[in-house]
Structure 1
Amino acid sequence: MSSSEYSARHLSVLEGLEAVRKRPGMYIGSTDSRGLMHCLWEIIDNSVDEALSGHGTSIDVILHADASVEVHDKARGVPVDIEPKTGLSGVEVVFTKLHAGGKFGSGSYAASGGLHGVGASVVNALSERLEVEVDRDGKTWAMSFRRGEPGTFDDAQGMSPASPFTPFSSESVLRIVGKVAKGVTGTRVRYWADSQIFTPGASFQTEELANRARQTAFLVPGLTMHISDQRFAETLESSYNYTGGISEFAEYLAPDAAITETWRLTGEGEFTETVPVLGSDGSMALQTVERSCHVDIAIRWGTGYDTTMQSFVNIIATPKGGTHQAGFEQSLLKVIRAQVEANSRKLKAGSDKVEKDDVFAGMTVVITVRLPEPQFEGQTKEVLGTPAVKAIVANVVAKALTQRLTSAKRDDKAQTALLLEKIVSEMKSRISARTHKETQRRKNALETSSLPAKLVDCRSNDVANSELFIVEGDSALGTAKLARHSEFQALLPIRGKILNVQKASVSDMLNNTECASIIQVLGAGSGRSFDLDVARYGKVILMSDADVDGAHIRTLLLTLFFRYMRPLIEAGRVFAAVPPLHRVVVMNPGTKPNETIYTYTEKELASVLAGVAKSGRRYQEPIQRYKGLGEMDADQLALTTMDRQYRTLRRVRVEDAAVADSVFELLMGNDVGPRRDFIIAGSSTLSRDRIDT
């Protein structure tokens, strides 16, 4: 823009938005992918607020191949008439003026997430180009912006942020670009994020977008969220629509089998708040207003010990909690403690007090509150700050949960009994595990008397350099003793297949000899009390036979580690040894010594034999097929499986704990139906030749 084209009008439009461009982190948190996604949420949330108010039942999000993103709704449409104070159209006010909109007590929105009035204007300021179209009054109205400034683009070469741009010089023009049927309304926003603002690697995250769309569909029953990702060769489409609300959401989030049904705790409360109100003369005056806060909570407990908690204010996620979450936690603990004390003799709880972790074990909860003009800590809205909400949520939880826990209905009484038994069991396990952890520390060579007698420990006290091999069977132990490096390699034999801990209770697991030995030898506790820093070995290596039974034993061990010692896996300290399946002795002519080749799969064996035949050499027959580790000589086991210089280890990773947990539940859980379907579905891919008989 030349100096002759620059006028006071441009200054008035950009003075607020320039602050956004200079300090974007104040408004969107960061300028990487997280900030880019936050901009998209701002636009989507405007459409969701319309749906919350009963206008529109569908929202479409389109990720275009040219790096732009488009959001459609069929709500009321942004106002197109002139706003009297500024003399600008409603579209221009919403997209160019900070702290402007319909969410400041005007009555347009009883409960909204985007109440700061900066969302659309911030996105506009941080966009190289933004296009908005509004269907309203039988017409389609349109306006274009470049980095927050309204004007027109010459798209003769196609729609692009690089198209020649002419800013409005005297007054803005809201273009009429089409007609729509009477009663048809809605808004379409398409924008290109500004490469001057966002880091080069920033991009829209498809999975995060899908999760947010699914979450919104749960929180607004009846709303359809449709996503179309056109950035790749094949367009990816997904739609989300749920009628069950947050009860269905809690069931979706729950990682374990249910102990209780999903309970709904609902209620509301009133509070007063003193807020500045804009008067008709443009001045601000403090005024005391009456507020109403509606609370809706879905909660259930399962057999596991992980806690899943998500909280929302007017469907805006608050991942860092706030006053609503604090009120819930405080009241929940108080109510449960009262019930445990009232049933202390029946539950055999003794004088020990239930703690927060005991109550939260296996709990899945979705907390939602709706109130006008909530106070968030910052524009990113991650923490609710309205003080009065804490007491309202606490009162609702206390009343509704006490009523449920003291209900005389048969189903409620049965579920309450199971829940209180689980909480008391968690309390006892916590106390027992704490005592166990306090007494279990890294022992030196003179202090191994309290460890299992069958442990063959190493001499080194260097945890980072030490390795614990969990060996299948006593026969393999004998060979492994001769094959190991006794300085830093310890051996713990297990007898056959250990307990399936996915189906067993915590107490059954602790009473199982093999499971208890593994936990005792590692010395870091189990479950919530597991302390990675005091684990006695740097690596845990599962060494089982290279057959189906060996794979089953390895799976059972991994289930134990995943459920009760997960930090070891997350830290990358659990490995599976890779023993060979075959030993091929290739005979060389003359006095040249024979060559020994180990193979690990049938395919690799066939390839080696073909190579030997092609070279004109012969191999000894029969080829040795290892049925178990005990069939190996110590030298062979060391060379192939235990010696750091030659062995291969397969690191066990948990890249996505939620996905891994679902696989463990499918393969090892109580529900037989899904496992049967999984086996039947995969049976067609199984060759009879692969069955080891």
Structure 2
Amino acid sequence: MTTTAESSYTARHLSVLEGLEAVRKRPGMYIGSTDSRGLMHCVWEIIDNAVDEALGGHGDRIEVVLHPDSSVEVRDQARGIPVDTVEKLGLSGVEVVFTKLHAGGKFGGGSYGSSGGLHGVGASVVNALSARLDVEVDRGGRTHRMTFRRGEPGTFADGSGEPGPEAPFTPFVDGSELAVVGKVPRGRTGTRIRYWADRQIFPTSATFSYDELVTRARQTSFLVPGLTLVIRDERRLPGTPGAEGPVEETFRHDGGTADFVDFLGQDTPVTDTWLLRGSGDFNETIQQLDGKGHLVAAEVTRTCEVDVALRWGIGYETELRSFVNIIATPKGGSHVTGFEQSLLKVVRKQIELNARRLKVTGKNSKERIEKDDVVAGLTAVVTVRLPEPQFEGQTKEVLGTAPVRAVVAKVVENELTRILTSTARTEKAQAALLLEKVVGEMRARVSARTQKEISRRKNALETSSLPDKLADCRSDDVEQSELFIVEGDSALGTAKAARDSNFQALLPIRGKILNVQKASLADMLANAECAAIIQVIGAGSGRSFDLEAARYGRIVLMTDADVDGAHIRTLLLTLFFRYMRPLVDAGRVFAAVPPLHRIETYGSGGKPGDLIYTYSEAELHKNLARLDRSNKRYKEPIQRYKGLGEMDADQLAETTMDPAHRTLRRVTMSDAARAENVFDLLMGNDVAPRKDFIVAGAAGLDRDRIDA
């Protein structure tokens, strides 16, 4: 008789994991993973407990130390973990916090109004996944100490050396002991936790990231004004800021979320940083412990405090950070949904009310303002504080408390409407600029969609809607094709004869295009030269730019080698930087390098000799000196090219357009923030810094090079 799989599966196959065994068996359930990300999550659990104390007004300083022995220590000056005995368990508060899951002061006992910790598993999970954890608590004028090995309390025989997980360990047998190891002034309180991650759980490749700690500390200092956070790295790891010795950074910001937005926003502002603050109540059914220790359902009224800081800049990237209490929610949640819905609703309404001034047709328009139009250039920090928020999982990446959406939406709607309808001169002017920007983004999106439709390559039986002045190439291979943007019609004629029409296209522009750093988005789209460039490239502009749709593999800016040519090249680069940045990021924008001089040598018997092209004054003098040393004659005066049109077609092809001989200068974006600052300095609205820049560099100006 055979036994079926169903009948062989009985109750004896079931396992029940008690206490911290579950954490060690399934660590990913509690910390997400066991790589470096999970290792860092353990640090956040301990730090967040200290920050929760600061949120409650207890303590204003937290220190985090990365020790050379791979341990981490977190120190705070808060109330200290309770050291008295928990009556029902007969254990000290310290042992309960570090050995019992779902134990702590955040389950409705009134210890915390709002906190990041909710489940009471943070400290105990870190303890379970540590080869050793030491905790010291200053409270009641004494220092209390307890140590654990993989979650089990006991004592380590450290001797006279540094403490470590390898020291002999003796677990408590009859009863646990919270040792008193010193005295402190009665008013001093605080907690010090030091732990060594268990390498049975975490691989040796998992390491603590100093940069992540610094980023998190800076972020927390913005969210908890007045809190000082110190990060110190004593590991001396190669390739880290502390490679040469211990490094320490301190963070404290008293301006809150407004300072955070100012830190995140790197582009030139369109509006000031606006604060939208308020609160709202909602009812929630929860489970509470009654006097007999039983869970019963109860309806409670929650208060949700909303703190939103936001500003718009001239760019089109969106930077949105969201937090619940102090916990970052990178995947959003109900608070972000409420913010975005209300933001779109308010801006749409204001544009409809100002439709005539903004030259839009209002409610009956076929094109409506969309979320992407509103959030273009937006930098925002959305923070809510409420008791016992509901997250999706212990990693707390998404807020699930549904009523928060309506509370946030109402606060944002009321406060943003107040600002956008304000009669104060500054706010009224900024509101007008914002609405113009949003309408411009809408028009850019519509224009980009239209351009993509009309700029697809046509076959021989179709007509093209591309600009008539475009001299397109025959190849439809994007990787091989090149678009030369040529300065002026005079150079176009020579370039047409010099190019290889199989893969090289030409687009002439008339003089200096619009300075898009100063102009609005609408003005840029209305400019014929800018519109032609965007249409010919065929990938749209701004946040709707699609690199995959670009019709050419290389964009080459070919301008004269003089001051005007340099100015035109700068204007073109400003256009690409502001509205087609992915092309620059991908390394597909180049500047042609035409020669400055041509040296014509004499051969034997006075016959024409070689032609030598030079690209700088230094290279010219070096070549002339070499010719003089070898007694070779050359025709004088030396020809100086002031424009591409002065070259013959064969000369332009050989020096500037033929891939076999030319030189191209790739435009890169190694430091976008610095590049944007330079563009704003040279091309922006603020004249004073530009004047200072010119005055500062005047002493080093060589007048003879102005023509170059």
User: Which band: TM-score by shorter chain?
Assistant: 0.7 to 0.9
Deviations 1:258-300 (A, max 9, x none): 3433332222222222222345555433332221111122233
Equivalence map 1:482-521=2 (5 Å): 482-521=497-536
SS in 1 for 2:556: strand
Per the alignment, residue 218 of structure 1 pairs with: 222
Per the alignment, residue 166 of structure 2 pairs with: 163
Match of 2:102 among 89, 96, 99: 99
Per the alignment, residue 72 of structure 2 pairs with: 69
| CA distance in 1 between partners of 2:479 and 2:272 (Å) | 45
Match of 2:153 among 144, 150, 153: 150
Q: Do 1:586 and 1:595's aligned partners in 2 also have CA atoms closer than 8 Å?
A: yes
Deviations 1:404-436 (A, max 9, x none): 334444444444344334333433443344333
Q: Structure 1: any 5+ residue segments left out of the alignment?
A: 1-13
Per the alignment, residue 231 of structure 2 pairs with: 227
SS in 2 for 1:251: helix
- 1:459 is the counterpart of 2:474: yes
Per the alignment, residue 399 of structure 2 pairs with: 384
Q: Do 1:322 and 1:385's aligned partners in 2 also have CA atoms closer than 8 Å?
A: yes
| CA distance in 1 between partners of 2:704 and 2:210 (Å) | 39
Per the alignment, residue 50 of structure 2 pairs with: 47
Match of 2:344 among 323, 326, 333: 333
Identify the range of structure 1 (648-657 vs 185-194) with the bigger mean alpha-carbon deviation: 648-657
Match of 2:452 among 437, 444, 448: 437
Q: Do 2:467 and 2:536's aligned partners in 1 also have CA atoms closer than 8 Å?
A: yes
SS in 2 for 1:463: coil
Identify the range of structure 1 (373-382 vs 423-432) with the bigger mean alpha-carbon deviation: 423-432
Q: Do 1:442 and 1:523's aligned partners in 2 also have CA atoms closer than 8 Å?
A: no
Match of 1:261 among 272, 286, 289: 272
**Do the aligned partners of residues 550 and 48 (structure 1) sit closer, same or farther apart at CA in structure 2, a change above 3 Å counting?**
farther
SS in 1 for 2:479: helix
| CA distance in 2 between partners of 1:156 and 1:628 (Å) | 82
Per the alignment, residue 10 of structure 1 pairs with: none
Q: Structure 2: any 5+ residue segments left out of the alignment?
A: 1-16, 235-241
**Do the aligned partners of residues 542 and 61 (structure 1) sit closer, same or farther apart at CA in structure 2, a change above 3 Å counting?**
farther
Identify the range of structure 1 (318-327 vs 205-214) with the bigger mean alpha-carbon deviation: 205-214
Q: Do 2:153 and 2:172's aligned partners in 1 also have CA atoms closer than 8 Å?
A: no
| CA distance in 1 between partners of 2:596 and 2:252 (Å) | 51
- 1:189 is the counterpart of 2:193: yes
Q: Do 1:499 and 1:512's aligned partners in 2 also have CA atoms closer than 8 Å?
A: yes
- 1:357 is the counterpart of 2:372: yes
Identify the range of structure 1 (28-37 vs 501-510) with the bigger mean alpha-carbon deviation: 28-37
| CA distance in 2 between partners of 1:381 and 1:671 (Å) | 44
Cα RMSD for the two superposed structures: 3.8
Q: How big is the shift at 1:437?
A: 3.2
SS in 2 for 1:420: helix
Deviations 1:504-553 (A, max 9, x none): 11122123232122111112222233233322112223344566665544
2:20 is aligned with what amino acid?
A: L
Deviations 1:639-690 (A, max 9, x none): 5654445555554444565554444334432234455566677789x58599
Give the alignment's TM-score, normalised by structure 1. Answer: 0.85
**Do the aligned partners of residues 368 and 225 (structure 1) sit closer, same or farther apart at CA in structure 2, a change above 3 Å counting?**
same
| CA distance in 2 between partners of 1:680 and 1:141 (Å) | 65
Identify the range of structure 1 (368-377 vs 69-78) with the bigger mean alpha-carbon deviation: 69-78
Per the alignment, residue 248 of structure 1 pairs with: 259
Q: How big is the shift at 1:476?
A: 4.8
**Do the aligned partners of residues 81 and 423 (structure 1) sit closer, same or farther apart at CA in structure 2, a change above 3 Å counting?**
same
Per the alignment, residue 568 of structure 1 pairs with: 583
Q: Do 1:61 and 1:72's aligned partners in 2 also have CA atoms closer than 8 Å?
A: yes
| CA distance in 1 between partners of 2:491 and 2:160 (Å) | 73
Q: Do 1:584 and 1:619's aligned partners in 2 also have CA atoms closer than 8 Å?
A: no
SS in 2 for 1:105: coil
SS in 2 for 1:299: strand
Per the alignment, residue 420 of structure 2 pairs with: 405
Q: Do 2:72 and 2:195's aligned partners in 1 also have CA atoms closer than 8 Å?
A: yes
Q: Do 2:458 and 2:464's aligned partners in 1 also have CA atoms closer than 8 Å?
A: no
| CA distance in 1 between partners of 2:698 and 2:147 (Å) | 57
Percent identity over the alignment is 66
- 1:420 is the counterpart of 2:435: yes
Per the alignment, residue 134 of structure 2 pairs with: 131
Q: How big is the shift at 1:384?
A: 0.5
Match of 1:302 among 313, 320, 342: 313
Q: Do 2:512 and 2:568's aligned partners in 1 also have CA atoms closer than 8 Å?
A: yes
Match of 1:86 among 60, 73, 89: 89
Per the alignment, residue 539 of structure 2 pairs with: 524
| CA distance in 2 between partners of 1:557 and 1:379 (Å) | 50
Per the alignment, residue 372 of structure 1 pairs with: 387
| CA distance in 1 between partners of 2:671 and 2:119 (Å) | 35
Match of 1:312 among 323, 330, 346: 323
Deviations 1:434-479 (A, max 9, x none): 3333333223466565323332211111223222122344555455
| CA distance in 1 between partners of 2:179 and 2:623 (Å) | 74
**Do the aligned partners of residues 662 and 138 (structure 1) sit closer, same or farther apart at CA in structure 2, a change above 3 Å counting?**
farther
Identify the range of structure 1 (429-438 vs 649-658) with the bigger mean alpha-carbon deviation: 649-658
| CA distance in 2 between partners of 1:603 and 1:95 (Å) | 72
SS in 2 for 1:524: coil
**Do the aligned partners of residues 349 and 162 (structure 1) sit closer, same or farther apart at CA in structure 2, a change above 3 Å counting?**
same
- 1:665 is the counterpart of 2:668: no
Q: Do 1:250 and 1:262's aligned partners in 2 also have CA atoms closer than 8 Å?
A: yes
**Do the aligned partners of residues 312 and 588 (structure 1) sit closer, same or farther apart at CA in structure 2, a change above 3 Å counting?**
farther
Q: Do 1:479 and 1:632's aligned partners in 2 also have CA atoms closer than 8 Å?
A: yes
Equivalence map 1:578-617=2 (5 Å): none
**Do the aligned partners of residues 235 and 679 (structure 1) sit closer, same or farther apart at CA in structure 2, a change above 3 Å counting?**
farther
Equivalence map 1:672-683=2 (5 Å): 672-675=687-690
| CA distance in 2 between partners of 1:125 and 1:579 (Å) | 68
Identify the range of structure 1 (450-459 vs 601-610) with the bigger mean alpha-carbon deviation: 601-610
| CA distance in 2 between partners of 1:312 and 1:148 (Å) | 31
| CA distance in 2 between partners of 1:159 and 1:570 (Å) | 50
Deviations 1:32-60 (A, max 9, x none): 43333332222221111111100111222
SS in 2 for 1:464: coil
**Do the aligned partners of residues 662 and 278 (structure 1) sit closer, same or farther apart at CA in structure 2, a change above 3 Å counting?**
farther
Identify the range of structure 1 (404-413 vs 218-227) with the bigger mean alpha-carbon deviation: 404-413
**Do the aligned partners of residues 177 and 327 (structure 1) sit closer, same or farther apart at CA in structure 2, a change above 3 Å counting?**
same
Q: Do 1:587 and 1:618's aligned partners in 2 also have CA atoms closer than 8 Å?
A: no
1:574 is aligned with what amino acid?
A: V
| CA distance in 1 between partners of 2:91 and 2:522 (Å) | 70
| CA distance in 1 between partners of 2:214 and 2:411 (Å) | 32
| CA distance in 1 between partners of 2:624 and 2:233 (Å) | 49
Per the alignment, residue 113 of structure 1 pairs with: 116
Q: Do 2:132 and 2:195's aligned partners in 1 also have CA atoms closer than 8 Å?
A: yes
In our comparison, the structure showing a higher alpha carbon Rg is 2
| CA distance in 1 between partners of 2:624 and 2:27 (Å) | 64
Deviations 1:485-517 (A, max 9, x none): 321122223344432211111122123232122
| CA distance in 1 between partners of 2:611 and 2:165 (Å) | 66
Equivalence map 1:606-645=2 (5 Å): 638=653, 641-645=656-660
| CA distance in 2 between partners of 1:602 and 1:147 (Å) | 72
